[in-house]
Amino acid sequence: MTIPIALQLYAVREECAKDFPGTLSAVAEMGYAGVELAGAYGNTAAQLRALTDARGLKFAGTHTQLTALLGDEFARTVDFNLALGNQNVVIPSLPAERRATREAWLDSAKLFDELAAKLEPHGLRLGYHNHRVEFQALDGDMPWHLIFDHVRPSVITQLDVGHALEAGADPVAELRRYAGRATTVHMAEWSATEPLALLGEGDVPWQAVIDATQSLGGTEWYIVEQETYRYPQLECARRCLESLKNFTQ
């Protein structure tokens, strides 16, 4: 089973800021099949689509702030993603007041469910991405579970395996708990001893993660995200891709 690999462009944000078209070219030449946006770098949706199409890249998703899905911004966000040809609209984090208490997490879950229902008629899927706080118990519950136990199954569990492991969670167990819902998975490393570890150099049980995504079904994209750098950002992206391909081949 071959799951395509995309790069979260936040991982090469400095290069994107300097030369966005050139960075996309480099990403495509490395062998990435797609990208996940975390900012448009001054481009319209039409310009972004033209740049990626010309390089044979697909959109695995967009990291979209919650505010861009509320009020009058909702329609603009829908139009933006449709113009990209992107289905996966992923909220990357929540403001402090939406994660301060158990009740706040449950209220966020209710909002996510409502937003997912509004996106579905447009052919778009809502997702949520974790950092560490989602796996730090709050009044006896894990916020990650408070979200995904209370939203419709179509809401994407975009598990960042590195952040989850750092918080003390078992990423494989979390993939199994929400089997078939991890449409996109962030393949990020974490090491207890080496903060600059690249994918394959740390403590993430990569083969178990990959086996879970492939056996449970539903995963359409692996998304590399490296946030610490021993080498220039593009070189880190290349090395992470090579390591991930070694695990999946």
Mean pLDDT of the chain: 97
Q: How confident is the model at residue 52 (pLDDT cuts 50, 70, 90)?
A: very high
pLDDT (0 to 100) of residue 249 = 79
Taking residues 38-61, what's their average pLDDT? 98
CA distance 59 to 36: 6
Res 1 pLDDT > 90: no
pLDDT > 70: percent of the chain: 100
Strand partners, 37: 62
How confident is the model over 22-49, as pLDDT tens digits?
A: 999 999 999 999 999 999 999 999 999 9
Does position 106 have pLDDT exceeding 70, yes or no?
Answer: yes
What is residue 211's predicted lDDT score, i.e. its pLDDT? 96
- Give CA–CA dist 33/5, Å, rounded: 6
Across the beta sheet with 58-63, the strand order is 156-158, 125-129, 88-91, 58-63, 34-37, 5-8, 221-224, 184-187
Let me know: does 68 contact 39? Beta carbons within 8 Å. no
Rounded to whole angstroms, how far apart are CA atoms 146 and 18? Answer: 40
Structure-block tokens of residue 163 = 């952040």
pLDDT at position 177: 98
Read off the tokens for 28: 């495509």
What is the dihedral angle through the alpha carbons of 139, 106, 184, 63, rounded to the nearest 10 degrees? -110
What is the C-alpha to C-alpha distance for residues 188 and 227, in angstroms, rounded to an integer?
A: 8
How confident is residue 17, by pLDDT bands cut at 50, 70 and 90? very high
Average pLDDT over residues 16-27: 98
H helical segments located in 125-232: 143-148, 161-166, 171-177, 206-216
Note the pTM of the prediction, 2 decimals. Answer: 0.97
Classify strands 88-91 and 221-224 as parallel, antiparallel or unpaired.
Answer: unpaired
Look at residue 159 in the predicted model and tell me its pLDDT.
Answer: 98
- Per-residue pLDDT of 91-103, as tens digits, reads 999 999 999 999 9
Question: With 70 as the cut, is the pLDDT of residue 20 above it?
Answer: yes
Residue-wise pLDDT for 192-209, tens only, equals 999 999 999 999 999 999
Identify each DSSP E strand in the chain by its residue range: 5-8, 34-37, 58-63, 88-91, 125-129, 156-158, 184-187, 221-224
Helix (H) or strand (E) holding 236: helix 233-248
Do 38 and 8 meet the contact criterion of CB atoms below 8 Å apart? yes
Give tens-digit pLDDT for 158-200.
999 999 999 999 999 999 999 999 999 999 999 999 999 999 9
Q: Give the Cα separation of 127 and 91 in Å (integer).
A: 6
